[in-house]
Structure 1
Amino acid sequence: MSSERGTDGGADAAANADTAAAGGLSERELAVLAVERQGWAGSGTKERAIRERLGISPTRYYQLLNALLDDERALAHDPVTVNRLRRLRDVRRGGR
């Protein structure tokens, strides 16, 4: 697998080390899981935090989160959060 980020081997090595330490998850994926670990008073607060911290829309955030719930790397990194969210997703899908 080749890197398309550039020719700076030192930066690539550091990024690869960070990714390996996080179980292969990207910084953005780790940030999504971190947002989900927090308790939120209301959806407006969470949506504002998503935009400010991650720089993405809430719609994109939930797309990324849904994909993470099916990713074994995310489960290995944060099993409590991922399993809680999987259960919630399953309940919501059952009601549709």
Structure 2
Amino acid sequence: MDATAVDHGTARPALVAVEAPEGTDEALSERDRQVLGFERQWWKYAGAKEQAIRELFDMSATRYYQVLNALIDSPAALAHDPMLVKRLRRMRSTRQRARSARRLGADA
């Protein structure tokens, strides 16, 4: 299995690629696969997640989460890494329910 990473001229741990089932990986870009790989193992990086996002993907944390949210709704991402995508969807849903509950509690 090959390791992949975005190289910005500094040494850092490589993102580990996960083999997808046959024929499911074509719809995902290299960046999409790297984002999924990062989400699978971001806790291994020293420092804040936002800093690692900026260093690895050269984008703001806000843009990264927009990309990630669109990505986890993708059937190709689900086929590529079903356990990770389902966990991320569950976490997003839990956060959305908590936000809604706070909003409804404040309005009542």
- Answer yes or no: is 1:32 the counterpart of 2:35: yes
Question: Which structure features the higher share of helix residues?
Answer: 1
Contact in 1 for aligned 2:24/2:80 (Cα 8 Å): no
Partner of 1:55: 58
Separation of aligned partners in 1, 2:25 and 2:52: 22
Identity %: 55
- Answer yes or no: is 1:73 the counterpart of 2:76: yes
Amino acid at match of 1:71: S
Separation of aligned partners in 2, 1:66 and 1:89: 8
Separation of aligned partners in 1, 2:62 and 2:29: 19
Contact in 1 for aligned 2:28/2:76 (Cα 8 Å): yes
* TM-score (structure 2 length as normaliser): 0.63
| 1:67 Cα offset (Å) | 0.3
Amino acid at match of 1:64: V
- Answer yes or no: is 1:84 the counterpart of 2:87: yes
Give deviations 1:56-86, integer Å, cap 9, x for gaps: 1111000000001110000000111100000
Unaligned runs of 5+ in 1: 1-19
Separation of aligned partners in 2, 1:79 and 1:58: 24
Runs of 4+ in 1 over 6 A off after TM superposition: none
What is the RMSD of the two structures over their aligned residues, measured on CA atoms?
A: 2.0
* TM-score (structure 1 length as normaliser): 0.70
| 1:23 Cα offset (Å) | 3.5
Contact in 1 for aligned 2:24/2:79 (Cα 8 Å): no
Contact in 1 for aligned 2:54/2:61 (Cα 8 Å): yes
Amino acid at match of 1:46: K
Unaligned runs of 5+ in 2: 1-22, 100-108
Separation of aligned partners in 2, 1:32 and 1:74: 10
SS of 1:22's equivalent in the other structure is coil
